[in-house]
Chains A and B, each alone.
Chain A
Amino acid sequence: MRAMNRYLYDGTADGLLSAIAWILEEEPDPLLVALSEREDTLFEDGFFIGTDATQAESLFFRLRKQAPDAAHTIYSFMLAEKEGMETSLLHYISLVFKHGDKVNGYLTHSAVLDIVSIAKKAGRELHRMKGLLRFEKLRDGAYLAKMEPDHNIIHPLAYHFRTRLRAQHWFLYDVKRRTAARWSNGSLQFGTIEQFTTPALSDDEKKVQAMWQTFFKTIAIPDRKNARLQKSNMPMKYWKYLTEKQGE
């Protein structure tokens, strides 16, 4: 086998996509090419490709047009913020342009398997958080939900609640990443929060929470207790912010 050509990029998402666009353009067989993040060591071997945001954007635009399912897979893959997968992504995208959306079925190819399974995991957590997120009502009438998801899902999660809870003001706060989303007066904004102080709850909040806790307890069939099944469906790492699991 021929030695692989090696390329480097600057570690940003835009850099990654524009490097891939460049390689697809210039390399006769992208499946024989490796791509990784530049680490600025003295003896790095590989050719550095500079970042070009318009290239990145146009690549994603073409993907969305030619293979919407695959584009969605790539979007979910990016939410995982997984390191060291650049070569797999490059090979995956090159296969997308060859086979279109069918490519997601090509799971016997290791690059496809890598990208699709990481994307699936991110998608699964996004779906889970749509259910497990808990809002608390604050004194000023707005609602706040805190979370610590494994994947960086605040954007798609906020889009979900923008339609669902459009009649109330709310905040999402990713405690680990210190990022926040805010929905008020019909507009959605994202930002980071340096110093977070928990605001006061509204007067009736504890009462509503007690109702939910009561419902949660009584709805279970006593003779069928099954803590293992409960934990496998709802892993303990999510319990920290679950109203019904406080004090356990």
Chain B
Amino acid sequence: MDTLAKLQILSGAARYDASCASSGSKREAPSSGTGNTSQSGICHSWSDDGRCISLLKILLSNDCRYDCAYCVNRSTNAVERASFTAREVVDLTLDFYRRNYIEGLFLSSAVMQSPDVTMERMVRVVESLRTEEHFGGYIHLKIIPGCSSELVRKAGLYADRISVNIELPSQVSLQRLAPQKHKDSILEPMALIGREIHSSLVERKADRRAPRFAPAGQSTQMIIGASPENDFQILRLSQGLYKKMNLKRVYYSAYVPVSADNRLPVLAAPPLLREHRLYQADWLLRFYGFSAEEILSDDLPNLDETFDPKTAWALRHPEFFPVEINRADYLTLLRVPGIGVTSAKRIIAARRFSAITPEGMKKIGVVMKRAKYFITSSGRGFERADRTPALIRQQLLLGDGIVAPPPRQLVFPGLYA
């Protein structure tokens, strides 16, 4: 099989992986080689589904020994199989990078003979890119659960980001749908990576020349809608991963039906809106100072379909509003629906010079569609003050065509995080 045919199979098999981030790493170009990374990440194209293309995202092989029910590559599925040689991946990466098609490589793989054999081959690819070709571009490497910790360590020395997929939100679901994977084989490397990242940071503080370990951190991904967990369970899991495991990102991937296995739910369509809401809630966890318990509870275990999670929270907490834009601190401003990180920072920067009026809000570019129900400027409201949450809710829904219809397709809000 020629490289083009393999590329077709092995990029097609990688497309459901949500992560294409290329940010968070600052790697200087090696003096004799090619490539560096950019702190903020760069998109090189946008594919026909509107997603950012930043990395050459491929599997090393789709020839899998495992039989995870939700996966196209499972051993019992009749798909065409292919495996790249290390040389092919190295050449593709360099050929694409030199033409500025990509920021770097995102390499994952199905489980070939064994986790160790697979991981070793993947590490060989990036080792050759870094040490023989002096490649300085971005590399994201997936860890194959069950491989040796020696290989995990090696991976972290060559890659900018490494990730272990958590796959499903609970151990029960994992056992049911991915019986060859064990919770421990996923959590152990995660913890190991966390420790290595930490100690490399400590060592580099003492000595700038100490080796970096996965400088762009670790991320993970879970499939949404293939198993029965509710959004509250999922958000609490993510919160734990951010807090205890120090993860940079959790990616959510709406389950796309790929088989008629009777262990799987029958879905008319992938749960894209749910995925979108989870990304919004995840954003609130990471940048807005919310906790999972504020967003959801046992009585309210799933995210609202009509309103984004922040608006839904605001409607449940009328006592928090209105917020006075000329006095409120940053975290309070961030709780106002329609005011994001950029707007909150702009408000704080602008009010140093003079109090901000409603016209001023427009000038500095704050979108008032939703915010106007929840704020005052120097004591004056933007909307009549006697509105009850019920009225606001109605206004937001019907009002002047206020709430945009939920996106039919997903958007990745965290591209530059």
Contact = CB atoms under 8 A, between A and B. Distances in A.
Contacts of B364: 107-108, 113
Contact of A166 (B29, B44, B349): B29
A168 interface: yes
A47 interface: no
Interface in B334-353: 346, 348-350, 352-353
Chain A: interface secondary structure? helix
Given A143-B99, A166-B29, A220-B47, A214 B4 contact: yes
B56 A221 contact: no
Interface string A92-115: 000000010010111111100100
Contacts, number: 162
A233 B50 contact: yes
Contacts of B80: none
Contacts of A242: 45
Interface string B259-280: 0000000000110100000000
B100 A127 contact: no
A224 B350 contact: no
Given A107-B346, A219-B57, A165 B98 contact: yes
B45 A244 contact: yes
Interface in B63-100: 92, 95-96, 98-100
A188 interface: no
Contacts of B409: 224, 226, 229
Contact of A225 (B7, B28, B49): B49
A87 B46 CA distance: 39
A105 B7 contact: no
A211 B54 CA distance: 16
A208 interface: yes
B333 interface: no
Contacts of B32: 167
A226 B48 contact: yes
B16 A221 contact: yes
A216 B352 contact: no
A113 B47 contact: no
A99 B352 CA distance: 11
B205 to A, nearest CB: 25
Contacts of B34: 164-168
Interface of B: 3-4, 7-8, 11-12, 14-16, 28-29, 32-36, 38, 40, 42-54, 56-57, 92, 95-96, 98-101, 134, 256, 269-270, 272, 346, 348-350, 352-354, 356, 360, 363-365, 408-411
8 contacts: A102-B349, A108-B356, A130-B38, A208-B95, A215-B96, A224-B410, A226-B48, A229-B411
Given A108-B356, A108-B364, A143-B99, 8 more contacts: A106-B352, A208-B95, A214-B4, A220-B49, A221-B16, A221-B49, A225-B49, A226-B408
Interface of A: 99, 102, 104-110, 113, 127, 130-137, 143, 145, 161, 163-168, 208, 210-212, 214-221, 223-230, 233-234, 242-244
